[in-house]
Structure 1
Amino acid sequence: MSGGGWPVAAGLRLSLTTLTVLPLPAGRVDRRTAALAMAWAPAVGLALGGVLAGVAWGLTELGLAPLPSAAVLVVLLALLTRGLHLDGLADTFDALGSYTAPDRALAIMKSPETGPLGVAAIAAVLLVDAAALSALVARHGWLLIAVGVAVGRLGITLCCARRIPAARPDGLGALVAGTVPASVCAAWALALIALGAVAGRGIEAAGPGWPAADWVRAGLAVLLGCALVLLLARQCVRRFGGVTGDVLGAGCELATAVALLALSAA
């Protein structure tokens, strides 16, 4: 156990501290607590998405159009996460695009400077997020917003799955890499597919049964997000020897964008 108390609660507290702006005391951190924190990441995503959904509903009630509302949501999510995942996205793409030796690529990733590829990656992801959120706001898909954000945090959990090594012997990547069982990732994926189908059902025309389109849309959102994260992790293992904290952030941003885009499909 880490820092005393119930280990599951300690993991949730660490997850909230790491993935949000909440200034909670992390206590002493070890791999067991870190593993629980990464396993809790999709739940934290649901909480973040719930905040965004509530704000989106409120802005709609105030008469704000979908696109400006989406812009507010994009900015709010960045603020609630301290922009750390966007920073990780930029650093990861700068390193992947450097075509240098692994040590040099990792040094580029660690550098505080952001290159043109990193800037382009951030711009692309934010554009997709804004477009998808605008469509979801227009359809009043409040719960789908929460699901999309949660799928992004499932990307973090996937990057920490067993058999995915760390690129460095220190840092966040070394602490959490290879700590999450595949069964936990699969359970979250199935849960988010089901929740996405329920959310889609809530905004579709009423009628008996469960339209296949709801399940297909939710399934694509989760599976495409997961597939993209696994491809990213595979490429990082090939290029750097494993994942880092920046790669976790990149996986989160990519999965969020893909999931929101899939969920926004009419």
Structure 2
Amino acid sequence: MSAPSSTPWPDGLRFAFGTLTVLPVKVTRWDRDAARGGMLCAPLAGVVVGAAAAVLGVLLLALGSGPLLAAAATAAVPAALTRGLHLDGLADTADGLGSGKPAEDALRIMKQSDIGPFGVITLLFVLLAQVAALAQAYGESWARGAVAAVVSATAARLALTLAARRGVPAARPEGLGAAVAGVVPVRGAAIVAVAVTLAAAGAGAFFGPYDIVRTALAVVVAAGVAELLLRHCTRRFGGVTGDVFGGLAETAATTALVVLSLGG
């Protein structure tokens, strides 16, 4: 029997969509090679999630709704397409960090099914920020709202690609975090980051030279803020977990939306 390919792109795509979305995609391989391909393809899953969110928002605008309702619906779609796992991870990460306890105790808090006060407060302000930024974008035009939805969702999954790079350890020996921690070569993560940034700049080109810079900057700043959170979590917990990955995704998405809302 021949050895499996080191970069199984079909399996990687299935891994990305099967683990990062609720779309009916069957994951046929769970080994490290498939996980590597999946995390490299994570931004593609973000494009699909963002496009679905944008379609609903634009449809509501076409039916006569205001920007606020379109924004709320757009923010709800990524939550629905991930079964709320990224939001749940954000809340658990906030509770773990906010507890101030040693790594072992903080990780135990994060595994509990309930959400503590730090998690509730974090979810509240993150969702408010997302809806506010999207409402501003839709208020300017349906196209800006759609681009904001796609760019933020893609930046969110780019944060996962970067967090899965080699050198970032897993905090636990089990779970999704352990399955994908350290699978992505640093060079591969950098190439994906550049590709996503250039694609975002291309989307901004439809609105003018300034928006080329703004959309590219949204991706760069989102990745930078997610990296700061990643490093903090790695120091506090000893590595990454599935919850940390979810927290990184929501942090990057929110940051991208905030940057896109500035200087309009």
Please give the TM-score of this superposition, normalised by the length of structure 2.
Answer: 0.92
Instruction: Show the counterpart of 2:197.
Output: 193
Q: How far off is 1:155 after superposition?
A: 1.0
Q: Taking structure 1 as reference, are residues 196 and 144 closer, same or farther at Cα in structure 2, changes over 3 Å only? A: farther
For the pair 1:154 / 2:158, whether they are aligned, the reply is yes
Match of 1:238 in 2: 235
Q: Is the 8 A contact 1:2 1:10 kept in 2?
A: no
Q: Distance in 1 between matches of 2:189 and 2:134?
A: 25
Q: How far off its partner does 1:22 sit?
A: 1.4
What residue is the counterpart of 2:216 in the other structure? 219
1:38 CA displacement: 1.1
Partner of 1:106: 107
CA shift, 1:3, in A, is 9.5
Gap change, CA 1:110 and 1:3, over 3 Å in 2: farther
Distance 1:2-1:110 versus aligned 2 partners, 3 A rule: farther
C-alpha contact 1:136 1:145 (8 A) present in aligned 2: no
Residue of structure 2 equivalent to 1:168: 172
Percent identity among equivalent residues?
44
Residue 189 of structure 1, CA deviation: 2.3
The size of the alignment, in residue pairs, is 258
Distance in 1 (alpha carbons) for counterparts of 2:160 and 2:186 = 13
Q: Distance in 1 between matches of 2:119 and 2:18?
A: 25
The question of 1:203 aligning with 2:204 is answered no
What's the CA shift string for 1:90-149, capped at 9, x where partnerless? 011101111111111110111111100011111111111101111222222123321121
Q: Which amino acid is 2:248 matched to?
A: G
- CA RMSD of the aligned region, Å? 1.9
State the distance in 1 between where 2:80 and 2:247 align.
17
Amino acid at match of 2:162: L
Distance 1:65 1:102, change over 3 A: same
* Structure 2: gaps (5+ residues): none
Partner of 1:184: 188
Equivalent-residue separation in structure 2 for 1:202 and 1:2 (angstroms): 45
1:27 aligns with 2:28: yes
Report what 2:70 is aligned to.
69
Query: Contact conserved, 1:3 with 1:29, CA < 8 A, in 2?
Result: no
